Amino acid sequence: MIKNKFKIISLIFAIIFMFSCKKVNKSSSDHLPTLKGKKILMVFGGWEGHHPAVFVTKVSKWLEAAGAQITQSDSLEVYTNKKIMDATDLIIQYWTMGEITKEQFRGLENAVKRGVGLAGCHGGLGDSFRNNPEYQYMIGGQWVEHPGGKIDYTINVIDNNDPISDGIKDFEIKDTEQYYMHIDPNTKVLATTKFTDSIHTWIKGRVIPVAWKTYYGNGRVFYLSIGHNPKDFNTLGAKELLFRGIKWASGSKYEPIENTLKAVYE
């Protein structure tokens, strides 16, 4: 009898727990813009070591399944095509290093200023066009090092109120690059990573942002530093951060400007 009572009480607690979990997950992604009908331009190229074509194929599948219309371009010249840029809601760029011409950059910059969103990850957005500081001004950060090359490390989700990161637990990612970045301390940081002393002793305990959101003009900009290999997105937390960040950035033409200012130094 007591045993049965205990079982019933446990069951009630389990049901309450399940519902409260559902509530947390519901609140997280329900506030993000839908991808249904959104026009997304995916621009890929640059250093082949980041497998740009594989990345674009993988991410296109998620976005198409969510109802987005995808246009792919393996040329930066697309940024000068005003007709395409005007019809685009979001640009996802995966272009490591390389060079961008003045005209191509103006096309990209003007589109984002007007309200086209910009999202991406790793070197494809955070280490493109090293000779262009204006580009870095737009992204809010630039890769500078990945100590130790491919390693295992932990991502700490630090913002549990933002719909991009809400409900995502800290997670570990294996055999990939931990980005050390120089970043604009006014971006809204959603996740971070802490460095150990295994390669460069002096960086032990330093914390560097992994995911952030910001604005450039009217355009929403989302960046995630994970993604040295497209397989990184087989890790659920990594996929979720990128997918939700893409959703958020796709809404800048349709949603009011959000306050993403989180100044570190005041």
Residues in contact with Zn ion by the rule CB under 5 A: 177, 228
Among 248, 226, 246, 229, smallest CA distance to 237 is for 226
Residue whose beta carbon is closest to Zn ion: 228
Give least dist CB 126 to Zn ion, A: 10
Give least dist CB 167 to Zn ion, A: 28
Identify which of residues 38 and 228 has a Cβ nearer to Zn ion in the complex: 228
Identify which of residues 30 and 48 has a Cβ nearer to Zn ion in the complex: 48
66 in the Ramachandran plot: left (φ > 0), alpha (ψ -120 to 50) or beta? alpha
Give least dist CB 226 to Zn ion, A: 10
SS (H, E, C) 72-98: EECCHHHHHCHHHHHCCCEEEEEEEEC
Structure-block tokens of residue 255: 């949603």
Give least dist CB 123 to Zn ion, A: 5
Give least dist CB 228 to Zn ion, A: 4
Contacts (Cβ under 8 Å, ≥6 apart) of 23: none
Give least dist CB 210 to Zn ion, A: 14
Question: Distance (Å, rounded) from C-alpha 176 to C-alpha 196?
Answer: 15
Question: Distance (Å, rounded) from C-alpha 154 to C-alpha 171?
Answer: 6
Identify which of residues 213 and 228 has a Cβ nearer to Zn ion in the complex: 228
Identify which of residues 89 and 177 has a Cβ nearer to Zn ion in the complex: 177
Give least dist CB 5 to Zn ion, A: 57
Among 133, 89, 96, smallest CA distance to 115 is for 89
Identify which of residues 68 and 211 has a Cβ nearer to Zn ion in the complex: 211
Write the DSSP symbol of residue 2. Answer: H
Buried b (16+ CB within 10 A) or exposed e, 181-210: bebbeebbbbbbbebbeeeeeebeeeebbb
Identify which of residues 162 and 177 has a Cβ nearer to Zn ion in the complex: 177
Identify which of residues 159 and 177 has a Cβ nearer to Zn ion in the complex: 177
Contacts (Cβ under 8 Å, ≥6 apart) of 56: 42, 44, 72, 92, 94
